[in-house]
Amino acid sequence: MSPADFRRYALFYLGYYGALGAYTPYIGRWVSANGHGGYVVGAMLALWYGGRIVAPPTWARLSARSEFPGRWLVAGCVLAMLGFAGFAGFDSGIMLFVTMAWFGVCFNAVMPQFEAMTLSTLGDRNHDYGRIRMWGSIGFLIVAGSYGWLLDRLGNDAFVWLTLPWLLLTVAAAWLHRGDRPHPVALPATTAREGLWRRPGTRHLLVTVLLMQLGFGPFYVFYTLHLQAQGHDGFAVGSLWAIGVLCEIVMFWVAPRLVQRYGAHRLMTVCIATTVLRWSIVAMFGSSFAWMALAQTGHALGFAAFHAGCMRRMAELFPQRRDMAAAQGMLYGFSGGIGGVAGAGVAAVAWQLGGGKAAFLAGAVVSIGALLAHALPMRAARAASAAS
């Protein structure tokens, strides 16, 4: 990849995840500031995760038929920006949900397409992917770490206008790819998902990632609101988000060595157990910045290392490349899709019943379920092997 291509691809990740760094931590704060309760906040995030189920496969089929898939990328980014701009005029009523659905579908559609474009361009140099993807984490870090402070000073109404420039940057970066053509690679054979589902170990992995994502529901939906309710100002909230992202970046660099040394199953066990402890700390000691900072360091294991372990397990379960695309789609649908929607729903109910403490304790309980789903099948398999 030439330096010019590197800049083109890195710029898109910077803009896309910069916009996500505004949306993920602060959409709940904006919705709540407009007078809505926990159920509305949860429904908004459920629509967001629902877009991850329906949008990527549909968009992939449309762009795959095009001679210039880069034009579909531009179109998706423009539609996402226009959808988000709708929040400036619709902050209540049914149109709030319509706007959310529009933005969620379009914004979630383009990244899987761009990831495929990136990996296709890298070819045999796919190990350089991390150097490009890192710019996405930098964008998320800059925005998530600073927008809490900015919203305290400019007011919550500034949320939409502070986010739109990052979406405009995403459109501009996509425009640089408008003439990109499909790479001449052989298409993988179609693999029936039913066959993948029956493969030994697959269902246990999918249930584990679904429950893990469900347990993250309170974090993605109500973490900022929980911190505000516990007396933290915008600067403290942004700092805590930044701590989590910094730990995530560091872990992504060292995770391959950890997986190699300890194995995916053992590493994932530690990650899930750490997440149980993390949500318990957030629930019980939310008023303490020091305890919240300590809990945020758990993002390195609960998110980054867990993701690395999942990818290794996927490679072990589906060693043939022709199976991997369908398997990854199935994993994405279970975790980010079904798990995300269910997590938002559970978090909303718990928040309405008992606030942040109840929501994060619910996340800890669900994470215990993920730990059991992950650990017990392996223990049973070992016992059966010893008996034979």
User: Among 81-90, 201-210, 360-369, 372-381, whose mean pLDDT is lowest?
Assistant: 372-381
What's the mean per-residue pLDDT of the chain?
84
- The burial class, CB within 10 Å (0-12 / 13-18 / 19+), for 85 is middle
Higher pLDDT, 143 or 256: 143
Spatial contact of 128 and 122, defined as CB atoms under 8 Å apart: yes
Reported as a single tens digit per residue, the pLDDT across 207-256 is 999 999 999 999 988 999 999 999 999 999 999 999 998 998 888 888 88
Residue owning tokens 């933290």: 232
End-to-end Cα, the chain, rounded Å: 52
The CA distance from 124 to 122, in Å, is 6
Reported as a single tens digit per residue, the pLDDT across 14-73 is 999 999 999 989 998 999 999 888 888 888 888 888 887 777 777 777 776 767 778 888
Q: Which domains does the chain have, with CATH numbers?
A: 1-181 (1.20.1250.20), 192-382 (1.20.1250.20)
